[in-house]
Amino acid sequence: MKKIGAEFIGTFWLVFGGCGSAVLAAGFPELGIGFVGVSLAFGLTVLTMAYAVGHISGGHFNPAVSIGLWAAGRFPATGLLPYIAAQVLGGLAAGGVLYLIASGKAGFDVTAGFASNGFGDHSPGGYSLQAALIAEVVLTALFLIVILGATDRRAPAGFAPIAIGLCLTLIHLISIPVTNTSVNPARSTAVALYVGDWAVAQLWLFWLAPIVGAVLGAAIYRVLGGSEEH
């Protein structure tokens, strides 16, 4: 239960900090933090929570990461359902708190996006389904390679959260214009269910692509890391 609680809290912080920065601060008149600020916010949520509770649960905070770690032989199959449930519920709780805060401003319209992921007309840069799919698969695969490498027993101890947090920052710097950056089904679900409509209709991609990417990244690292990757 401590592990499940840690995953709930960690995912809550990721969604509240990352999506919260996008909803509340990214476009604030004159002093908005923009894409760079949102990218840093997502990276910092993972970095801080990995140090705070990573030693309790492993610090996944992402269903795709849990599945990728399982595919790499680093996580038991029996833990997948409880971890994924905790991650999705933690994200939804954060989305609810964020909604309560954001709706306190006159003129707030949740259907305008609420930091949801999308493609086509709902991509920040108007990118197609194909472009979104490729971006999410490739970036999630690379994210898993960084996670597996940074947490490998042969890697320098104590630095994994920094590498992982900076990797997530870089991923957002690349792909916010394409999909608003998912690489995390719990993060996508956390806001899409409050938006409804198109966000829910497109949510399938942001489960499918990160999971495929995570399994691909795990397979690549198992080849690179050999038999000593644990």
Structural domain includes residue 230: no
Query: How far apart, in whole angstroms, are the C-alpha atoms of residue 53 and residue 65?
Result: 16
- Residue 115, SS3 per DSSP: coil
- E-strand ranges in 132-205 read none
**pLDDT for 106-139, tens place per residue?**
888 898 889 999 999 999 999 999 999 999 999 9
Tell the residue number behind the tokens 């990573």, with chain if given.
Answer: 54
| pLDDT (0 to 100) of residue 35 | 92
Structural domain includes residue 9: yes
The per-residue pLDDT string of the chain (230 residues; one tens digit each, 9 = 90 and over) reads: 899 999 999 999 999 999 999 999 987 777 788 999 999 999 999 999 999 999 999 999 999 999 999 999 999 999 999 999 999 999 999 999 999 999 998 888 898 889 999 999 999 999 999 999 999 999 999 999 999 999 999 988 889 999 999 999 999 999 999 999 999 999 999 999 999 999 999 999 999 999 999 999 999 999 988 655 44
223, burial (CB in 10 Å: exposed 0-12, middle 13-18, buried 19+): exposed
How many helices, marked H, and strands, marked E, lie in the chain?
9, 0
Query: How far apart, in whole angstroms, are the C-alpha atoms of residue 185 and residue 188?
Result: 5
Structural domain includes residue 198: yes
How many domains, in total, are found in the chain? 1
Domain ranges, residue 103: 1-225
Q: Enumerate residues 6+ apart whose C-beta is below 8 A from 130.
A: none
Tell the residue number behind the tokens 């996508």, with chain if given.
Answer: 188
| CATH number of the CATH domain containing 85 | 1.20.1080.10
Structural domain includes residue 13: yes
Structural domain includes residue 105: yes
- Which among 22, 12, 13 has a CA at the least distance from the CA of 117? 22
CA distances to 45, 67, 97, 155, 207 from 40, in Å: 9, 25, 21, 24, 23
Is the pTM for the entire model greater than 0.85? yes
Query: How far apart, in whole angstroms, are the C-alpha atoms of residue 133 and residue 179?
Result: 9
